Amino acid sequence: MCQHDRMKKQHVQLSKEDRQYLETLTSTGELSVKVYRRAIALLELDREKTYTAVAETIHSTISTVSGWAAQYREEGLTALYDKPRSGRPVEIDGPQRAKVTALACSEPPEGYARWSLRLLADKSVELGLCEHLSHTEAGHILKKTF
């Protein structure tokens, strides 16, 4: 198989509607970076660019770009978006996180110079701010805040 044949195999063939949708979507400036990069990749592949060229354009890997192309062929434009992930559901919501953060910013209990993550987690549960909080999760909450 010659080089030209391989290049022809690599591109994605967008429908006219999908191409218009992606062009409109990428021009709005209101997309997440993930969705924008995927949309640009599909548009570039439709223009018969190679996986390598597209990967360089969007600063990604060839396997990522080829995966998006395969996903588009199977699912259409839903390939732009992440599927829901399995895993543990969020136990602490935004307002609870804010209360834990506020507690961390308050004066530490008597006898302590500062809040430790374990102390913060234990006090949060004791005060009823949340049902359960590990010191690790307390650290994640504070890391996202500060």
Summarised one tens digit per residue, pLDDT across range 68-85 is 999 999 999 999 998 887
Q: Among residues 39, 48, 49, which one has the least CA distance to residue 72?
A: 39
Backbone angles phi, psi at 13, to 5 degrees: -105, 105
Summarised one tens digit per residue, pLDDT across range 100-112 is 999 999 999 999 9
Secondary structure (DSSP) of 24-82: HHHHHS-S-HHHHHHHHHHHHHHTT--HHHHHHHTT--HHHHHHHHHHHHHHGGGGGSP
Could you tell me the pTM of the whole model?
0.56
Domain boundaries, the chain: 3-80, 94-145
d(CA 68, CA 118): 42
d(CA 123, CA 146): 20
